[in-house]
A and B are shown apart, each in its own frame.
Chain A
Amino acid sequence: MALITFTNKGIYCAQGGFYIDPWRPVDLAVTTHGHADHVKWGNKAYLCHELTKPILNQRLGPDLNIESLPYNKEININGVKVSLFPAGHVIGSAQIRLEYKGEIFVVSGDYKTEYDGISTQFEPVKCHTFVSESTFGLPIYKWQPQEVIFSQIKDWIADNHGRSKTSVLVAYSLGKAQRLIKGLSGYTDVYVHNSIANLNEAFINAGVDLPETIRISPETKKEQLQKGIVIVPPALADGRWIKSLQSPATGICSGWMQVRAGRRWRSADAGFALSDHADWPGLLSAIRATDAEKVFVTHGYTATFSKYLNEIGIGAEEVKTQYGNEEEEEKAEISADAESKIQEDTA
């Protein structure tokens, strides 16, 4: 019997009696990171990285049964050695390493290989079997270094300031928002939506060194926002609140912005290809660095990417999961109340 199997509840380790990132309630959910498509409410117990714990408490509730670990510390669950390694995706994101009778499995969740200045950098882990995402598993996705993208974003903000426009950046509350805050700190005042401010607070309480931001409140003047920069989650991207700002210009930060059709489909004024997922070279180098004999490809361009891996001599297989909808999930989570809340907040 294989150490892990793919079931209709998630990635299952029978020997350890736990699931990794299950999408239905189980007894023990080992959690790679806090995005809504990887962690659900309703599990009896959670195991995650120390910095993911505050996110789960923030997003799923304060009374969860959560055990947390630092990176690189091994624990034993029913004979299975379990340890966490940095995935570089967002703060606290982890690859889950499982070892049983000399067999090593690594489930990487979501990851990126470039250091983003705020999440612990991705660390390749040698293993026999590697479970990889493939969100951007096509050779058209090759990211520019983040400093290049940040200088583009700053040019755009400067241009907007010159034209008295309000710069609004659209970014996931968890991950992209903190990355932008770090990258733009000291350049201009950063105003953030409640959902982002709440997560930032949780991180700061957990000891993460985050630059200062300003929570948008009913007192915040539109003129102040115009002179600074506004960061909002995707749920608000096309909302009325943005339209109420002084000549708003929206910029979307996402890997999908690499392609012109992606930029056009979203009715944004600017698109920046800044992603928290590995690009094509990143996926290939990460997989090669594991020395894995077998790769399971989960969400993304699964069929294409696994076909290519097989062609270059890496045994790969596509697996159906329910991951890969972080944006939609986050939308569902926030949009219910976000728009109305921010309306009330700023009315």
Chain B
Amino acid sequence: MRRFTELIRQLEMSNKTNDKIAALVDYFTEADDLDKPYVIAMFTGKRPKRPISTALIRQWAVELSGIPEWLFAESYHNVGDLSETVALVLPEAKHLTNRKLHEWINDLATLQDKSDAEKKESILNAWDSLETQERFIFNKLISGNFRIGVSNKMLVNALAKQSDTESSKVMHSIMGKWQPWEISYEDLMAGAHVNTDNSWPYPFCLAYALEAEPASLGAVTEWQAEWKWDGIRGQIVKRNGELFIWSRGEELVTDQFPELHFLVDELQDGTVLDGEILSVKDGNVQAFSVLQQRLNRKTINKSQLNDAPIGFYTYDLLEYEGRDLREEMLEKRRSLLVKTISGLKTANVVVLSPVVDFASWEELALIREGSRDINSEGIMLKKLNSLYHSGRKRGDWWKWKVNPYTVDTVMIYAQKGSGRRANFFTDYTFAVRDGDQLITVAKAYSGLTDKEIKEVNSFVVKNAIEKFGPVRTVKPELVFEIAFEGIAESKRHKAGLALRFPRISRWRKDKKADEINTLDDLRQLLQSTL
């Protein structure tokens, strides 16, 4: 546990990728062999079922620390992380031990079926045997929610370096199906389990955003353009009579999309398609907000199937007749993909994502302007001779998105950040005008420079009207332009709609509060996307 805590400390202390990889390599060289697969599982989001509810953990921490519940809540608000708050408020541990990470994790797993009293005894003992940082880690183990700024790619690079294995193999291996108690670190690195596993997907090839002018990419004849779809990136794997659908978050989402299950009969064994899971109705791609109704549901009802039918727009072929195609050029892959799709009996569900014809960059720029009309986010540019890379690699694939939507709003609430930012109002809520009322439409933070944050902060301090706990109502005076990627109906929000990925694009010091957008403006936008 100490070695793992040290790893987390090192990972948190540096914001440089190379330092983090070095820390990971050191860890996987020095750590207990049995611990290693557990750490890989944790970092790749394979989480065991949570053995104890958050409410109980919180209740016991309050009890043990002897502080009132409201003070715990206030502390939590300042720390911004429940596991950490619990670790900090507990009394000092009296019986320090140094057990192994996997022993702790296995202990937690056995608590699953125990009574609350037994759970409590076990957790209190654990807290009393771990120092503050270790406790924080332990609490994270309970929640299973370990986000520590280690991307899969980073982890894979470190593991590949440490075990002297090709990184694509490591990626295959850790993305497959395995359990940390069943496999040794060596076997995992060697990929001993994946040959017998039909489901494994390939690491997705990702694109960078195109910041420069497209003309800088060279001759148009070297490039293939496609629409950039706003859905869920997916990989469809058919091997040995089984069908698997993977999302980019490396989740198996097969059950969520019954419309695609016909592929188990129609695709050849040894076929892997890459593309976008979308909601497609009458041949038209629908807005992301429509697709959203279908995501992360355990059951799907008739009206959802009817309102948001699923389609798959495929643009790449990664495996053909059981052969890994990733080292082939895009042109070749595309021609085999065309052949594969034309062989399907069921029409109009799994279709080729069309190639956009263009003769010059200027022409493509014009075409791109029409993206929104077909619910596309812009253009994808792929080099015709490009291989299918693992992860993000600069140069071969670019996404050339249309500019985000924007809306002018006024700030009406401000809230302090957490930790060191507890001294500054950094989280703001924005409203648009609806008649003589102001209606909240977005909450955002960041997007401002440190200097601007300070300026806004002093405005909030001087112009606070009311205080609700940590929140201040402020005089509606500061106008901000909010950028966002999409808009959806929402029953939960007073405005009746919700913005997707809202962030501050700029502070409109030139505008007054009576010049902001209205709720009607946003309603019209919503209608135009449906």
A interface list, Cβ under 8 A from B: 138-142, 256, 258-267, 269-271, 301, 304, 307-308, 311
The answer to whether B419 and A265 touch across the interface, beta carbons within 8 angstroms, is: yes
B73 → A minimal CB distance (Å): 10
Chain B residue numbers with a CB within 8 Å of A256 are 419-420
User: A139-B65, A142-B88 in contact; A261/B79 too (CB < 8 A)?
Assistant: yes
Chain A residue numbers with a CB within 8 Å of B72 are 139
Stretch at the interface among B11-19, B189-197, B292-300, B346-354: B11-19
B84 → A minimal CB distance (Å): 6
Chain B residue numbers with a CB within 8 Å of A259 are 78-79, 84, 88, 418-420
The answer to whether A264 and B12 touch across the interface, beta carbons within 8 angstroms, is: yes
The answer to whether A263 and B12 touch across the interface, beta carbons within 8 angstroms, is: yes
Q: Which residue of B lies closest to A156 (CB)?
A: B13
Chain B residue numbers with a CB within 8 Å of A139 are 65, 67, 71-72, 75, 88-89
The answer to whether B420 and A262 touch across the interface, beta carbons within 8 angstroms, is: yes
B235 at the A interface (CB under 8 A) = no
B137 → A minimal CB distance (Å): 12
Chain B residue numbers with a CB within 8 Å of A311 are 68
B88 → A minimal CB distance (Å): 4
Bound CA span A308–B80, Å: 21
The answer to whether A261 and B419 touch across the interface, beta carbons within 8 angstroms, is: yes
For window 234-287 of B, CB contacts with A under 8 Å fall at none
For window 399-422 of B, CB contacts with A under 8 Å fall at 417-421
B199 at the A interface (CB under 8 A) = no
Q: Which residue of B lies closest to A257 (CB)?
A: B420
* Residue among A139, A142, A271 facing the most chain B CB atoms (10 A cut-off): A139
B455 → A minimal CB distance (Å): 13
Bound CA span A262–B72, Å: 18
The answer to whether A261 and B80 touch across the interface, beta carbons within 8 angstroms, is: yes
Chain B residue numbers with a CB within 8 Å of A262 are 419-420
Q: Which 9 A-B pairs have the closest CB atoms?
A: A261-B419, A262-B420, A262-B419, A140-B88, A259-B419, A265-B420, A256-B420, A261-B418, A140-B75
A267's partner among B15, B67, B419 (CB-CB below 8 A) is B15
A270's partner among B13, B80, B88 (CB-CB below 8 A) is B13
What's the dominant secondary structure at chain B's contact region? helix
Chain A residue numbers with a CB within 8 Å of B15 are 267, 269
The answer to whether B67 and A261 touch across the interface, beta carbons within 8 angstroms, is: no
Contacts A258-B88, A260-B12, A267-B15 aside, 19 further interface pairs with beta carbons under 8 A come to: A138-B71, A139-B75, A139-B89, A259-B78, A259-B79, A259-B418, A259-B420, A260-B81, A260-B419, A261-B417, A261-B419, A261-B420, A263-B419, A264-B12, A265-B417, A265-B421, A308-B67, A308-B71, A311-B68
Bound CA span A140–B82, Å: 12
Bound CA span A44–B70, Å: 46
The answer to whether B84 and A260 touch across the interface, beta carbons within 8 angstroms, is: yes
Chain A residue numbers with a CB within 8 Å of B89 are 139-140
Chain B residue numbers with a CB within 8 Å of A264 are 12, 419
Bound CA span A262–B417, Å: 10
Chain B residue numbers with a CB within 8 Å of A138 are 71, 74-75, 78
Chain B residue numbers with a CB within 8 Å of A270 are 13
B78's partner among A140, A265, A271 (CB-CB below 8 A) is A140
Chain A residue numbers with a CB within 8 Å of B80 are 261
Q: Which residue of A lies closest to B66 (CB)?
A: A139
